[in-house]
Chains A and B, each alone.
Chain A
Amino acid sequence: MMRLALLAAVLAMPTPALAHAFLERASPPVGSELAQPPHQLTLTFTERIEPLFSTIELRAANGATVPLGKPHLAADDRQLLVDLPVLQAGEYTVVWHVTSVDTHKTEGSFRFTVR
């Protein structure tokens, strides 16, 4: 029985938990194609974020950087928001660098397209 219990414990492996902030989801969604240009970018991370040391950059298809304000936290402090200017049609790359409240830094990027 003991062995079975042990085996069961090994089989029921806990899903490794989140630590270090990684992108959980985004709006507009990662890889999405949008009929309307979005007004705001919302990035939800797996950990609580330190806005002071976090940046969001937006690049157009030709590599030009779209000027954005400083990102701020939503009520849920795992969410970073930044307002967008009116975007022309085309493909955009979002590049994020965030520091989670446990001081660890992570980064990543994704794309979306405005039709």
Chain B
Amino acid sequence: MGATDILLRGIHVAALGSLFGTLLFAQWVLPAGGEAAMRKLLQLRVAPLSLAIACLAGFAWLVTESAAMASADNVGGAFHALPLVALRTHFGHWMVLRLGLLILILPLLRRPTIAVAVTGAAFAVQPMLGHAGAVGGSMGAEMIASEVVHVLAAGAWLGGLLPLFLAVGRLPRELAVATCRGFTPVGLAAVLLLAGTAVVQAAILGGGLPGLLGTSYGHAALVKSSLFLGLLALAALNRFVFIDRLARSPDAMRVSIAGEMLLGFAVILSAAVLASRMPGTHEQPVWPLPWRLSGWAFADPDARAGVITALAGTSAGIGAAIAGLAWRRVRWFACAAAAILLALGLPRLDLLLVPAYPTSYLASPTEFAATSIAAGARLFVTQCAACHGAQGHGDSPAAGSLPVRPADLTEHVAMHRDGDLYWFIAHGFTAPDGTTVMPGFAPTLSTDAIWHLVDYLRAHNAGEAMRRTGRWPQPVPMPQFDAACADGRTIDLDDLRGRAFRIVAGNEPVPSEFNAVIVLVNRGTASPTDDVCVAAEPQVWFALAILVGASPDALPGTQVLVDANGWLRAVSRSGESIQIGQARDIIAHPLPVDAAGPTGHHH
């Protein structure tokens, strides 16, 4: 979407909001008595003007958007695409519906209640013209509902500003003050609804703090939020300062409302920019700070007490400072207490921060696939084992002669995010004296290869822990894989989400007392039957062996129970079976989707 599209979208939406807000204002905000001329001005001048602009800009937007959808690059092409888009696409249908409703409003302007309702309906189409309408499903429905509320609230507030501006200038002073007071509840309700629905939208589309700080979508959202805060500040100024001066002179109030209108238009334009951006997963966040927040300290027995004391001290310090400001009598005592508590508590809050890198929040594109783990295992042998040792324990024959001992990769890899590990492998390590102790692999390995290594390190860590202790210390996800089923379908992990399944390595499904779909992992000889799908790719066998800490040759007969959220939960070796009680429990209680827990630690 180009700048023209964004501008037209912004003007169209602003004019629609102005129409909606003006009609509401004329009907319900203007106080009774002596304001007939004002109401007439709003209903028969401002409203039709807004309507005309909304229609023209809306039509122009439909034309430019048609051209963009059909990749037409000249006017002829655009008008050729127009009927196609208008009649045969979702965007076209909704836009035609909206423009139709708008034309219907013209003869209705003298019937204000109906006109408001029809305008509201035309405005409420907004989510169908953007991301929300494209998502589908229950998440889409949630987004559509919150956006409807969002735009109607914005229209009621921002669209009421021009009428307010006119009323303050033209009405007798007393009536002007009454009008301003009448507008306050509208503005307040709108602000609360806007903020609430914005939080819902941000939670769904924003990608959290990394998305906000690290993507251009997030930056646009930050710009929009700061403009909104500016708008709020002006509104508060009007309500608490200028309204009292209104009786003497309306000028300050008018200037301030004009400023609000300008900021309001800027907010709408930034919303149009957001609508044109790609939010979410497909813009990878570049983390701008050298550290990030992490809750690792709460999970680490050595650090837990420290971080809780620091939080308690800091909170008490803030409390004391507030008490000092509020009560004169205890001022000196409270301030001294606050200073001591903050001096003790604040520095220890660094326990909540861990080092971070630009790639920390990159999402791996590999889905932890069996093929990726297997590829990483091969790369590890050729690229890393010379220093880190064949099993990654930092114990290669060359290790002793290196300036810095290679890290034991089974020690705390689990505490780093995928994106941190990516950074370590891509950029290597330099000793404080400047010598390279581990080369960066970005120049020699592709990004995919580095992600394969990250997946391998994770899988290998899980397998080493299983081999040594008989359990996985952290939840381990099932790798992505493809399996063929008897009805000719190919299924993958996504098809199995929502139900537990049993993986059996070998050519025969081992019978079991509990019910779960069976995926047979074999080396290409068995064929699927009614309740058994077969994953025959050799990488799946290999990856499974790594994850359970067995050699590939010792794998036959091994069973793994995967819960409904895709977590590996129980293993049994050849000749054993998973206990029925334990299996029932796992099937009934899958680990939560986000069970991986906080990561991060200091070196």
Contact = CB atoms under 8 A, between A and B. Distances in A.
Task: Judge: A and B partners, yes or no.
Answer: yes
Interface of A: 1-4, 7-8, 10-22, 24-25, 27-29, 31-33, 47-48, 50, 52-53, 77-78, 99-105
A102 B210 contact: no
A17 B490 contact: no
B207 interface: yes
A17 B134 CA distance: 12
A29 B84 contact: no
28 contacts: A3-B315, A7-B295, A10-B208, A13-B207, A14-B207, A15-B207, A16-B281, A17-B207, A17-B280, A19-B135, A20-B278, A20-B279, A22-B281, A24-B494, A28-B490, A31-B371, A32-B490, A47-B135, A50-B69, A50-B89, A53-B69, A99-B69, A101-B89, A101-B133, A102-B130, A103-B91, A104-B134, A104-B278
B445 interface: no
Given A11-B295, A48-B90, A17 B278 contact: no
Interface stretch (B158-166, B198-206, B324-332): B198-206
Given A17-B279, A52-B89, 5 more contacts: A29-B492, A47-B135, A53-B69, A102-B129, A103-B69
Contacts of A27: 489-490
The 8 closest A-B pairs by CB, nearest first: A13-B208, A16-B207, A16-B280, A102-B134, A101-B90, A19-B131, A47-B134, A20-B278
Nearest to B495: A25
B482 interface: yes
A78 B90 CA distance: 13
Given A7-B352, A52-B84, A13 B209 contact: yes
A22 B207 contact: no
A14 B204 CA distance: 7
A33 B482 CA distance: 10
Contacts of A14: 203-204, 206-208
Nearest to B292: A10
A84 to B, nearest CB: 15
B437 interface: no
A66 B69 CA distance: 25
Which residue, B84, B282, B315, B363, has most C-beta atoms of chain A within 10 A? B282
Contacts of B129: 102
B88 interface: yes
Contacts of B490: 27-29, 32
A38 B65 CA distance: 37
Contacts of A8: 295
A19 B494 CA distance: 19
B124 interface: no
A53 B295 CA distance: 46
Nearest to A14: B203
Given A7-B293, A29-B490, A77-B136, A16 B206 contact: yes
Nearest to B482: A29
Interface in B207-247: 207-211
B110 to A, nearest CB: 36
B139 interface: yes
Contacts of B311: 3-4
B88 to A, nearest CB: 5
Given A52-B88, A103-B68, A25 B494 contact: yes
A20 B133 CA distance: 11
B209 A10 contact: yes
Contact of A16 (B133, B135, B208, B314): B208
Contacts of A20: 131, 278-280, 282
Interface in B84-107: 84, 88-91
A15 B211 CA distance: 10
A22 B278 CA distance: 11
B594 interface: yes
B598 interface: yes
B70 interface: yes
Contacts of B68: 103
A19 B280 contact: yes
A111 B89 CA distance: 30
Nearest to B94: A101
Contacts of B204: 14, 17
A18 B603 CA distance: 35
Nearest to B279: A19
A101 B91 contact: yes
B131 A16 contact: no
Nearest to B209: A10
Contacts of B293: 7, 10-11
A33 B130 CA distance: 38
A20 B339 CA distance: 51
Contacts of A21: 134
Nearest to B484: A35
A75 B316 CA distance: 59
Nearest to B137: A78
A34 to B, nearest CB: 9
A31 B395 CA distance: 36
Contacts of A100: 134
A8 B594 CA distance: 13
Interface in B105-136: 129-131, 133-136
A3 B312 CA distance: 10
B244 to A, nearest CB: 34
A29 to B, nearest CB: 5
Contacts of A25: 492, 494
